[in-house]
């Protein structure tokens, strides 16, 4: 192999490493952007769902309060002996203070149930109470359901005497209330007192004579009438839900008919392409209302997506600087290698000048390394500028709480860039050599490890079911070196540390346990310690690259096994892994595919 071949191969390896670093950096940038975007989308969707639920709950709560008002009217009639006259009803209605306590309701009234045979007596009683009282319109039902009283009467005068039995929606809702003994609303109707002829409905609560009936027959026999309230849907919504105070618009459908629709109104807040839309189905007093809720322009304005864009923009700037830094590093490295190659060729055979040439190369590499610090400092400086420029967003913790975290994450990644590249090269070397097939006694491996660590032989105890390790004893020893070394390295008092190694023979593999009596590892870190560059050391502990256990895990898995730790703080740690008993015809899956 010539010097040129070596040079070209080294250059190619550096280029691949640069691609790995760029890929990792870009992945982190895109990951931060996607995470921020998903989090923001989730928060915005949650705000829409909260606005939707608030709208629906307000409708339900308001209808519940209206129902309570109707049942209070039923209670008043019962307290007055089962019937009420016009003056008594007026006093009761005034006590409700409808305009202030029940916004959106047109009034509250009484509808009597009048069989045809008792109609003359009913009319005579009404004539004595109110001159000129008439029931209208005519119909062919065997009973009448006239509106006897309605307060306030001045705005509802057109409804007095209206026989609700003449129209199917009014009649059906009232009879359903009679038969169930519960509050019911009608299907869509137009109130006679509504000059705009917009959709409305009636709300009924039944009352009976002779106590509370329990069966359908008793309810029909004892039925006297209903306390009711008329509603214009448009006025009901205006009284409950001011559009100016909402971030959503909605429509209401009752069956096939739309009884309220804000979507079709251009009020300056309607959003032709809403961010969110949802439909809620309500079983409401015998009717099914479909409420379609859409976000409006106020919602869009209050819930922008600027934060992920800022993170992506800042990340791409940092990415561009990293790429520029790596290009600068590659060019400097290429110049250094080219210069070294030229010097080596020129000075071959001239030993007296070799020391001078080496000194010049060292100086060149030092200067190049020193110059490469400038781009790295530039990245940190740019990050500080971005934080200052985005200070308004950074300080807004509620809307942009994740922005500061991502800026700090960029700083950390830049600082760890050089350590990361070196770690990748060390980690990548694992598994490049072929599996060895030899026979080594476990005792010999343990003795070699003890000699390397210079510890007392009594501190390491071995129990083994096997006499020989026949598969890849070199990497088997490498695993034990890492585990035994860690046991002494992180023990509070290494001179008193004890390590127990147990090798058990299983049907298709060996099971190896390495247990120590050190400080132990908390359960939440059991997975983390096997990750690349992860270490649990504190600032007072020895320096650690965080690569040892990652190499252990990779070696074990390449030989078809798994590794785990059983430990808790204060009771030591026990590492358990599997190792093949015999050399397989084929290499374990994944072996040979190491980067």
Closest to 47 measured CA to CA, from 542, 399, 349: 399
* pLDDT recorded at residue 117: 95
- Same domain assignment for residues 358 and 441: no
The span from the CA of 150 to the CA of 227, in Å, is: 10
Closest to 319 measured CA to CA, from 31, 13, 8, 1: 31
Last residue of a domain, one of 407, 428, 449: 428
* pLDDT recorded at residue 1: 45
- How does pLDDT run across 509-545, given as a tens digit for each residue? 999 999 999 989 999 988 888 886 566 554 444 445 5
Handedness of CA 212, 217, 221, 227 (dihedral sign): positive
How many folded domains does the chain comprise? 4
- Same domain assignment for residues 294 and 441: no
The span from the CA of 414 to the CA of 22, in Å, is: 12
* pLDDT recorded at residue 582: 80
Cβ atoms of 144 and 96 within 8 Å: the answer is: no
The span from the CA of 420 to the CA of 398, in Å, is: 34
Name the residue with higher pLDDT: 382 or 542: 382
Cα atoms found within 13 Å of the Cα of residue 588, Cβ hemisphere only: 20
- Strands 277-284 and 257-261, by their bridges, are unpaired
- Strands 499-505 and 460-464, by their bridges, are parallel
Question: Could you give the C-alpha distances from 403 to 4, 311, 410, in angstroms and in order?
Answer: 49, 7, 11
Overall average pLDDT of the 435-464 stretch = 85
Three-class HEC string of 221-256? HHEEEEEEEEEEHHHHHHHHCCHHHCCEEEEEEECC
Question: What one-character DSSP code corresponds to residue 194?
Answer: -
User: Any residues with CB less than 8 A from the CB of 362 and at least 6 apart, and which?
Assistant: none
- Same domain assignment for residues 295 and 309: no
* pLDDT recorded at residue 502: 96
Query: Which pLDDT band holds residue 201 (cuts at 50, 70, 90)?
Result: very high
Residue 265 forms part of a structural domain: yes
- How does pLDDT run across 10-20, given as a tens digit for each residue? 444 456 777 77
Overall average pLDDT of the 155-184 stretch = 96
* pLDDT recorded at residue 41: 84
Q: Is the peptide bond before 81 cis (omega within 30 degrees of 0)?
A: no
Residue 468 forms part of a structural domain: yes
Cβ atoms of 279 and 55 within 8 Å: the answer is: no
What's the domain range around 97? 80-239
pLDDT at 564 over 90: yes
* pLDDT recorded at residue 585: 45
* pLDDT recorded at residue 588: 45
pLDDT at 167 over 70: yes
Cβ atoms of 411 and 425 within 8 Å: the answer is: no
pLDDT at 589 over 90: no
- Same domain assignment for residues 137 and 84: yes
Query: Which pLDDT band holds residue 383 (cuts at 50, 70, 90)?
Result: confident
Residue 67 forms part of a structural domain: no
Mean pLDDT of the chain: 81
- Strands 108-112 and 223-232, by their bridges, are antiparallel
Name the residue with higher pLDDT: 575 or 472: 575
Residue 16 forms part of a structural domain: yes
- How does pLDDT run across 399-440, given as a tens digit for each residue? 556 667 777 766 666 665 544 444 444 455 565 555 666 788
* pLDDT recorded at residue 333: 76
* pLDDT recorded at residue 501: 96
- Same domain assignment for residues 85 and 233: yes
- Same domain assignment for residues 190 and 284: no
Question: Could you give the C-alpha distances from 304 to 54, 268, 298, 445, in angstroms and in order?
Answer: 21, 18, 11, 64
Tokens of 444: 């010999």
Q: Is 513 helix (H, G, I), strand (E, B) or coil?
A: strand
Closest to 461 measured CA to CA, from 517, 511, 509, 505: 517
Question: What one-character DSSP code corresponds to residue 518?
Answer: S
pLDDT at 249 over 70: yes
Residue 59 forms part of a structural domain: no
- Same domain assignment for residues 142 and 187: yes
* pLDDT recorded at residue 412: 67
- Same domain assignment for residues 297 and 309: no
Overall average pLDDT of the 323-352 stretch = 73
Q: Roughly how many angstroms between the first and final C-alpha of the chain, as a whole number?
A: 23
Residue 66 forms part of a structural domain: no
- Same domain assignment for residues 398 and 487: no
The CATH number covering residue 175 comes to 3.30.450.350
- Strands 287-295 and 108-112, by their bridges, are unpaired
- Same domain assignment for residues 448 and 562: yes
Handedness of CA 76, 121, 152, 223 (dihedral sign): positive
pLDDT at 368 over 60: no
Residue 74 forms part of a structural domain: no
Name the residue with higher pLDDT: 133 or 307: 133
* pLDDT recorded at residue 322: 74
Query: Which pLDDT band holds residue 590 (cuts at 50, 70, 90)?
Result: very low
**pTM (2 d.p.):** 0.51
The CATH number covering residue 493 comes to 3.30.565.10
- Same domain assignment for residues 296 and 368: no
pLDDT at 482 over 60: yes
Please list, residue by residue across 109-146, b when 16 or more beta carbons sit within 10 angstroms of its beta carbon and e when fewer do. Answer: bbbbbbeeeeeeebbebbeeeeeebebeeeeeeebbbb
* pLDDT recorded at residue 398: 61
Residue 73 forms part of a structural domain: no
The span from the CA of 201 to the CA of 252, in Å, is: 13
Percent of the chain with pLDDT over 90: 44
pLDDT at 165 over 90: yes
- Same domain assignment for residues 398 and 445: no
Give me the phi and psi of 524, to 5 degrees please.
-70, -10
């Amino acid at each position: 192999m010539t010097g040129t071949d070596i040079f070209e191969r080294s250059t190619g390896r550096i280029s691949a490493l640069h691609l790995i670093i760029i890929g990792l950096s870009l992945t982190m940038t895109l990951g931060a952007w996607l995470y921020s975007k998903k989090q923001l989308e989730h928060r915005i969707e949650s705000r829409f769902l909260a606005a939707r639920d608030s709208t629906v709950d307000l409708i339900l709560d308001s209808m519940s309060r209206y129902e309570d008002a109707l049942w209070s009217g039923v209670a008043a009639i019962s307290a007055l002996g089962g019937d009420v006259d016009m003056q008594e009803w007026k006093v009761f209605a005034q006590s409700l203070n409808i305009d202030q306590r029940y916004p959106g309701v047109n009034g509250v009234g009484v509808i009597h149930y009048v069989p045809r045979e008792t109609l003359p007596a009913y009319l005579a009683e009404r004539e004595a109470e109110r001159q000129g009282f008439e029931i209208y319109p005519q119909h062919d039902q065997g009973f009448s359901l006239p509106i006897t009283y309605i307060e306030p009467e001045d705005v509802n005068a057109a409804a007095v005497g209206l026989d609700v039995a003449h129209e199917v929606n009014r009649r059906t809702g009232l009879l359903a209330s009679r038969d169930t003994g519960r509050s019911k609303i009608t299907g869509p109707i137009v109130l006679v007192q509504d000059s705009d002829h917009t959709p409305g409905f009636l709300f009924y609560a039944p009352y009976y004579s002779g106590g509370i009936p329990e069966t359908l027959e008793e309810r029909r026999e004892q039925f006297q009438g209903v306390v009711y309230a008329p509603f214009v849907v448009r006025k009901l919504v205006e009284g409950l839900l001011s559009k100016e105070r909402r971030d959503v618009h909605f429509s209401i459908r009752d069956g096939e008919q739309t009884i309220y629709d804000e979507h079709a109104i251009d009020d300056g807040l309607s959003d032709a392409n809403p961010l969110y839309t949802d439909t809620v189905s309500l079983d409401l007093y015998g009717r099914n209302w479909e409420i379609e809720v859409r976000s409006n322009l106020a919602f869009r304005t209050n819930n922008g997506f600027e934060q992920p864009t800022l993170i992506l923009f800042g990340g791409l700037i940092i990415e561009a600087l990293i790429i520029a830094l790596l290009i600068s590093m590659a060019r400097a490295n290429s110049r250094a290698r080219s210069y070294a190659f030229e010097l080596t060729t020129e000075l071959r055979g001239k030993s007296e000048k070799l020391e001078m040439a080496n000194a010049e190369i060292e100086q060149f590499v030092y200067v190049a390394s020193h110059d490469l610090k400038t781009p790295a400092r530039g990245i940190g400086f740019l990050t500080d500028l971005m934080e200052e420029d985005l200070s308004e967003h950074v300080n807004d913790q509620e809307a942009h709480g994740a922005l500061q975290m991502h800026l700090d994450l960029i700083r950390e990644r830049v600082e760890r860039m050089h350590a990361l590249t070196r770690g990748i090269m060390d980690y990548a070397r694992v598994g490049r050599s072929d599996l060895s097939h030899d026979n080594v006694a476990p005792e010999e491996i343990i003795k070699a490890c003890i000699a390397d660590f210079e510890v007392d032989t009594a501190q390491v105890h071995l129990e083994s079911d096997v006499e020989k390790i026949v598969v890849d004893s070199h990497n088997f020893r490498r695993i034990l070196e890492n585990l035994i070394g860690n046991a002494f390295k992180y023990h509070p008092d290494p001179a008193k540390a004890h390590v127990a190694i147990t090798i058990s023979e299983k049907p298709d593999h060996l099971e190896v346990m390495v247990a120590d009596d050190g400080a132990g590892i908390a359960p939440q870190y059991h997975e983390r310690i096997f990750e690349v560059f992860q270490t649990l050391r504190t600032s007072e502990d020895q320096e650690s690259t965080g690569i040892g256990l990652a190499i252990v895990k990779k070696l074990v898995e390449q030989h078809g096994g798994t590794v785990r730790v059983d430990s808790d703080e204060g009771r030591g740690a026990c590492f358990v892994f599997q190792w093949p008993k015999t050399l397989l015809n084929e290499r374990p899956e994944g072996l040979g595919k190491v980067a």
